[in-house]
Amino acid sequence: MNTLKIFAFADEASLTLNGQIAAMKRNGLDGLEIRNLDTGNVSDMNSVRAKEVQKILEEEGLSVWSIGSPIGKIDIVSDDYKAHLEKFRNTLEIANILGAENLRMFSFYIPQGDTPEKYKNEVIDRLGEMVEIAQGSGIVLCHENEKGIYGDNAGRCLEILKEFPSIKGIFDPANFIQCRQETLGAWQQLAPYIKYMHIKDALSDGSVVPAGHGEGHVAEILADFIKGGGTAVTIEPHLAVFDGLSKLERSGEESNVGKYVYPSNDAAFDAACNALKEILCQIK
């Protein structure tokens, strides 16, 4: 159990790099799934800033495990896909500079009220193009289940992961609950394809709660993940509205932060870290 590496979206504690480092250190974490800094989203970072960030993290004994990118989080009909591909290319370059192993991605927003299956071929074509671009980069593309996108449920995630063996899965229990997908069944379908988990839990009404306090069966799934050789997880608190959350979600798809509201982003971040530690003690 002690071999499990624990990373986090530390932008939920602070948008400054120093604040994120402090949050990771006081909670004994291994490093970042880097997403936002006070200079903006990681996918918009330039190489000069990336080298600065990498140097500072290395000096602090921390690492970047994954790029928490917004790649694939655009409308499949109305948004500029060619411009998004350029962002993807830049994100791959930044990932290499930061020493990241993985790049978190999505499978495109489906127009609200429309049928996801209608867009299957377009999703597959676009993901295939991204797989080709990423070849030789050394970066593993990791698809996260997310509300509103094509891969919002286990069945469509499985389609993607079977179609592209080089794409690995990220399992987010809270996101499945918010899509009315039962998590144990989803885990049984997807477990062989999952590279890592996002530690996030929710109630049936979609409100996010500390891991182990919701209906995501986080402890049970995490225990099976570790037993099967899983080596890393990312804590994603979502326990308080933090700077930048509104930029990550589409109108009508916002997270419900629920009753677990904390006096500060640091307090919410620490609560999420402590919830995971409690689970690990239970399943040890």
Each residue's pLDDT tens digit, 222-256 = 999 999 999 999 999 998 655 455 566 676 665 55
Tens of pLDDT, residues 145-204: 999 999 999 999 999 999 999 999 999 999 999 999 999 999 999 999 999 999 999 999
**How far is CA 83 from each of CA 86, 88, 108, 174, 213, rounded to the nearest angstrom?**
5, 9, 14, 30, 40
Give the pLDDT score at 260. Answer: 73
Tens of pLDDT, residues 96-110: 999 999 999 999 999
Give the pLDDT score at 149. Answer: 98
In the structure encoding, which two tokens stand for residue 22, read together?
Answer: 């402090």
Query: pTM for the complete prediction?
Result: 0.92
Number of domains present in the structure of the chain: 1
Does the pLDDT of residue 1 top 50, yes or no? no
CB distance 105 to 140 below 8 Å: no
**Mean pLDDT, the chain, integer:** 94
The whole-angstrom separation of Cα 123 and Cα 128 is 8
List the alpha helices (DSSP H) in the chain.
17-26, 47-59, 81-98, 120-134, 154-163, 173-178, 183-190, 218-227, 245-248, 265-283
Q: CATH number for the domain including 18?
A: 3.20.20.150
Q: What percent of the chain has pLDDT over 90?
A: 89
Domain extent at residue 65: 5-283
The whole-angstrom separation of Cα 212 and Cα 56 is 34
Kindly indicate the confidence band of residue 257, based on its pLDDT and cuts at 50, 70 and 90. Answer: low
Give the pLDDT score at 7. Answer: 98
Give the pLDDT score at 2. Answer: 52
Q: What angle do CA 270, 272, 277 make, to 5 degrees?
A: 90
